[in-house]
Structure formats: C-alpha cells, structure tokens
Amino acid sequence: MLNQTTAQAVIAEALKTGGDFAEIFLEDRQNNNVSMLSGKVERVNSRRLHGAGVRVFSGFQGVYVYTNDTSPAGLMECAKRAASAVQGKEFYTAKDLNPTDTPNIHFIREMPETVKAARKVAKMKEAQAVLKDAPEIAQSEISYMDSVQRVWIANSEGLFTSDTRVYTRFMVYAIASSGTENQTGSASPGAMQGFEIFDTRVDPEACAREAAAQARTMLHAPVCPAGIMPVVIDNGFGGVIFHEACGHSLEATSVAVGHSEMCGKLGQKVAADCVTAIDDGTIPNEWGSLNIDDEGTPTTKLVLIENGILKNYMIDKLNARRMNMPITGSGRRQGYMFAPTSRMRNTYIAAGNDDNGEIIATMGDGLYAKKMGGGSVEPTTGKFNFAVGEGYLVKDGKIAHPVRGASLIGRGSEILLKIDRVGRDMRMAAGMCGSLSGSVPTNVGQPMIRVSALTVGGR
C-alpha cells in the first residue's frame, strides 16, 4: 500500500523544479489464467504486477516516470527523475493530503484468490463437454481469467484515495472444419465480479453452444456479395461499431490535439435523431465500470450524443487543461507502466422504440450482421473497416441464408447519420480496448440498429 507520509514527500519532491501538478499512482495486481486446448489443460499461470508511477504537469505538458521499486527511497528517486524533465518558472506547494474512502458500488461475493484452480477447471470442463459432442467442431480453446487490482492514488491537490477492482472472464473458441476449410466461433463474457459470475451471468455450456453454432454456421455459408446496401447490426457486440468508429473520436486523447473528426462539434447534429449514445462507468459490476478512474476521479454516467446532438467528450485531467473543459472521470490506464489518458468505459447506443422484427422486415435486400468481429479505425477521419463474424443475407425483408467473409466499410460521422431504426433491447459485451495508455476493460453495447446504406465488402 501507499503510506500517506511517503506520498506527501514524493509529491513535494516532484514539484521542486516548477511543476504545477504532481501525482503518484501505485498498483498491486494479481492475475490468474487457465487455458484448455481441446479438453487438455495447457497452462495455469499466476502473475503479480507491482509498481508505481509519478506524473508531473507543467502547463499543457506532462511527464511520467515509473518504477517497480516502491520503497520510500525508490519512490523518491522516481519523483526526482520526473521532476528533472520539468523546468517551470513558478514553484508550487502541494496541499496536505486528505484521505477519502471510495464508495464501492461493485459487491464481490467470492474473491478469486479464495477459489481453487480445480473449481475453475471444472467450469471449463462443462463447456468442453458440449464442444466434444458438437458436430464438425475439430478443435476448441477455453480460457478462464481473473484479476484483482489494488490501486492507491495521491496528488498535489490533496487527493489521497484507493480502490480495488476485481475482474473475471470466461472465453470459449470453437473451430469447425470440413477437412479443407475452417471457421471459428466465440463467446467471451466478463464482468467486474468474482467467481460468483458463474451463478449470475455466465453459463459455460451456453457459451460453448454459442461458439459452436457460430463456427458451424459460417463453415457452410457462401461468400457474401459486395455492394452498398442496408445493414442491420444486432445488439451486444454489435456495439463495437460505435466504440471504434465513433467512440475513439470522442476521447480527449484525439479531440484535444485536433486529431478527431468530432473536434469543435459540441451542440451540433452528428447523428440521426433516434441515436443517443452513452459512456457510463457507474453500472454495478459491469466489465467497463469503476468506482474511481485512474486519476482518482469518481466515475460518471456521460451522455455523449443525445437525440443526434453531440453533448460531451470523454476528458482526462491533462486534456481538460488543453481543452479548458471539466474532467469526466474517464482517465484510465492499463497499469502503473502507463500514464493515464481519456478512455471509454461501458459505451453504448441507448435503447430506442423500434421492433426488431419490423427493423428487418422493412429493410428490403441487405445484410444482417448478427455478430461483429475485429476491425480498425482512424480517429482523425473516422474511416473504419470491420469484419462480420456472423452474417446473414436478407432478401425482401426475410433472412435468406448465412454469408461469410463480409466486412463493413465506412466513416463514423456518416454511419451515425444513416441510422434509421433503433431497437428496444440493449445489451452489452465485454472486450479489451487498446490505446495510448495500454489495454483496458471496456464494454460495448447497443440494441439492434439499422443503417440505411453502408458499403459491404465481400465478393
């Protein structure tokens, strides 16, 4: 843990060369992973990460230095090295630290460290039993992970606080084979919960059936035709489209330096009237939730877009200075080796008023993307390219047959304006998001949505 007296001394040392803000972040994390390949346990890994970082601001510039020597001497040396990169003209005195308790909204019933590896493997075997008997499934990989991260944060504004984050995730990958061709399917739910996740959210057998069904469906699907057509994107992981194509463009990481297509558009129409988008870190036990962010700011529910109008950006402490706007509790980092910056949490398109059946029945000919895969985006332009993990061709408002090899190509600002239907059933799905401050847990989500016209890549 971080001693208050030590933290006060470290912050004072970091300010000695004229910095106008200093912060110390200390992390102690225990990660556990078990992986099973086609029924055989391949790896059981346990890893502990421990270290701290000192950050100093001087105006709009930030310096970050980290160490895994968290002794008082090690932290003081870290502060000296951070301060050595700052040459301010004024000298600031840190406020006295004021310890505050962080209200915990994420109740954990069974901490991972109390659970024997055998119980974790037993859950994996439940999924493997389904995959073993599933037709055409030639290979499978099942993974279990849990993580307990304890953090302490102090800064020159008097903040001194701590938090504990507990994550558990279950991942199933199935490979269907015809002998000459393979296709994959997956399911990977996760939450900010302990082992009780298997009592409340995760059914290993259902995960296995979902992964196997996707793999088998895609194995026998013809290649998707290419063209511009209406596209219906289903709920849950379909939210990766908004996350990647639009969410990153609303992070201050891009906006503050003018590298976002959303720069200068607050109060303007950026989406269809039926679109409301939210980034919410306050949902109890959700994968992307927090009590406080990695700068010690209480997490928030932030309306990004309301009825098509851009309302907010996601803003961390340093970029708040650059933008002259308030912080939003969005400062996140992978761990002590990364300086924090603005990141998403649980980001989703809010539920609308349309019926799912009507959304498809009135689309004519097009593509139904039931499950999305990976992709890429350029925040400066908003241009994206995403693979469709499981897709179906729609003919005259009826789902005709599955197709594979489909991809969605477009631009974030354009797709938002072309959404003409939003369903009522909003669901979220767990993922990991990579950016300047490393990889962090984020949820993506949406109800079923329809884009009136989108470029579909295929054959």
CB-based burial label for 314 (10 Å; 0-12, 13-18, 19+): buried
Write the pLDDT tens digit of every residue in 273-316: 999 999 999 999 999 999 999 999 999 999 999 999 999 999 99
Rounded Cα distance, 138 and 220, in Å: 15
Write the pLDDT tens digit of every residue in 389-415: 999 999 999 999 999 999 999 988 889
Rounded Cα distance, 191 and 206, in Å: 17
**3-state secondary structure (DSSP) of residue 210:** helix
Nearest Cα residue to 234 out of 421, 458, 441: 421
Beta strand 182-187 with 190-191: parallel, antiparallel or unpaired? unpaired
DSSP 265-330: -TTSB-S-TT--EEEES-STT-TT--SB-TTSPBP-EEEEEETTEE---B--HHHHHHHT----S-
Structure confidence at residue 459 as a pLDDT band (50, 70, 90): confident
Percent of the chain with pLDDT over 70: 100
Angle between helices 204-219 and 117-133 (to 10 degrees): 30
Nearest Cα residue to 283 out of 304, 301, 296, 303: 301
- Determine the average pLDDT of the residues in 347-353: 97
- Determine the average pLDDT of the residues in 245-253: 92
Percent of the chain with pLDDT over 90: 90
Number of structural domains found in the chain: 1
Give the global pTM: 0.94
Q: What is the pLDDT of residue 440?
A: 97
Q: Identify the sign of the CA torsion 58, 62, 63, 64.
A: positive
Q: Is 333 inside any structural domain? A: yes
Q: What is the pLDDT of residue 168?
A: 98
Nearest Cα residue to 328 out of 311, 344, 318, 314: 314
- Backbone phi and psi for residue 372, each to the nearest 5 degrees, phi listed first: -90, 155
Q: What is the pLDDT of residue 90?
A: 85
Q: What range does the domain containing 358 cover?
A: 227-457
Nearest Cα residue to 433 out of 279, 266, 308: 279
Q: Is 282 inside any structural domain? A: yes
Whole-Å CA distances, 233 to 271, 427, 451, 456: 16, 12, 8, 12
Write the pLDDT tens digit of every residue in 221-230: 999 999 999 9
Which tokens hold the place of 372? 């999305």
Write the pLDDT tens digit of every residue in 77-97: 999 999 999 988 888 999 999
Write the pLDDT tens digit of every residue in 416-453: 999 999 999 999 999 999 999 999 999 999 999 999 99
Tell me: pLDDT of 44 over 90.
yes
Q: What is the pLDDT of residue 196?
A: 98
Q: Is 103 inside any structural domain? A: no
CB-based burial label for 90 (10 Å; 0-12, 13-18, 19+): exposed
Q: What is the pLDDT of residue 458?
A: 82
Q: Is 182 inside any structural domain? A: no
